[in-house]
Amino acid sequence: MKRTHHIHKEKFRKSWRGYRLAPIALSISTVFFLTACEKSDQTVSLYQNADDCSKANPSMNQQCAQAYQAALKEATKTSPKYASREDCVAEFGQSQCTKVTSEQADILATSSTADKNSTAQPQQSGSMWMPLMAGYMMGKMMGGGFNQQPLFTSQSATSPMKDKFVDATGKNYGAATYGRTMNLPKSALAPKPSVTKTITRGGFGQTVAQQASMKQGGVSSKSFSRGAGG
């Protein structure tokens, strides 16, 4: 009888340990799952404009237009700014620069007030130039809807971003070819800090070169695949 009593007691202890550990194991697995979701890649597509996006996705005309307009606004806020057209052209080439308009200046003023990551208080917009948005990348979010980021390129023969797509932070996304899809970290489509202060000639190109020299993990490309991705 004593042995039987001892066995039952041990079974009870093991059962109780398992019961207590189950919620802990569940919590740990949940944390790992959420972390994996946060760090997982997102499929994005590269387009020139809303029409380019609509041709690839006929049922998404409205989403394409909204994403394009949002990317244009983001380009106004986050693109590098220059004190003169010559400084901008030296980095991006002829026909790749535009003067900051009064409407764009209002966007900058609003963003610099709302954005805690803004690089500086806005300068006089009349003296600022910025590169034209060459295209944008667009990806579908898990909860529905889309997010986007503007892309820039250079026609200057001496620029490290010649015929390459780069974002506002200077990160290189490869050949400036529309219609490609890429698997990127979700941080690639995260909002970038507003830029309201001019930089010196060659400053952005230097940033691009520095970014290119660093290891860029988690970026793969599926060339010439059309579609918005999911």
Give tens-digit pLDDT for 177-226.
999 999 999 889 999 999 989 998 888 888 888 877 774 444 444 433 34
Assess contact for 175 and 164: CB atoms under 8 A: yes
* 106 in a structural domain: yes
- Where residue 161 falls (left for φ over 0; alpha for ψ -120 to 50; beta otherwise) is alpha
Co-location of 30 and 53 in the same domain: no
In angstroms, the CA 125 to CA 147 distance is 28
Co-location of 52 and 161 in the same domain: yes
Co-location of 35 and 119 in the same domain: no
Alpha helix ranges (H) inside 128-223:
203-213
pTM over 0.85: no
State the pLDDT at residue 77.
Answer: 94
State the pLDDT at residue 118.
Answer: 47
Proportion of the chain in helix, strand, coil states, percent, rounded to 5? 45, 20, 35
Co-location of 155 and 190 in the same domain: yes
* 228 in a structural domain: no
Cβ-based neighbour number of residue 113 at 10 Å: 12
What pairs with residue 98 in β-bridges? Answer: 130
Q: What is the mean pLDDT of the chain?
A: 78
What confidence tens digit (pLDDT) does each residue in 38-82 have?
456 889 999 999 999 999 999 999 999 999 999 999 999 999 999
pLDDT at 116 over 60: no
Highest mean pLDDT among 99-103, 152-156, 158-162, 202-206: 152-156
State the pLDDT at residue 175.
Answer: 94
**Domain count within the chain:** 2
Q: What is the CA radius of gyration of the chain?
A: 25
State the pLDDT at residue 141.
Answer: 76
Co-location of 54 and 154 in the same domain: yes
In angstroms, the CA 178 to CA 188 distance is 17
Sequence-distant (≥ 6) Cβ neighbours of residue 203 within 8 angstroms: 80
Token code pair at residue 139 = 């990806």
- Length in residues, the chain: 230
Co-location of 62 and 134 in the same domain: yes
Token code pair at residue 226 = 């059309």
* 159 in a structural domain: yes
User: 162: burial class by Cβ within 10 Å (0-12, 13-18, 19+)?
Assistant: middle
How far, CA to CA in Å, does 39 sit from each of 36, 42, 70, 97, 222? Answer: 5, 9, 24, 35, 20
State the pLDDT at residue 163.
Answer: 94
pLDDT at 93 over 70: yes
Count the alpha carbons within 13 Å of 45 in the hemisphere toward its beta carbon: 24
State the pLDDT at residue 114.
Answer: 59
Co-location of 72 and 141 in the same domain: yes
User: What letter would DSSP give residue 100?
Assistant: P
Co-location of 45 and 27 in the same domain: no
State the pLDDT at residue 31.
Answer: 40
* 18 in a structural domain: yes
* 99 in a structural domain: yes
What confidence tens digit (pLDDT) does each residue in 16-45 have?
555 454 544 444 443 433 344 445 688 999
**Parent domain of 34:** 1-39
Co-location of 8 and 26 in the same domain: yes
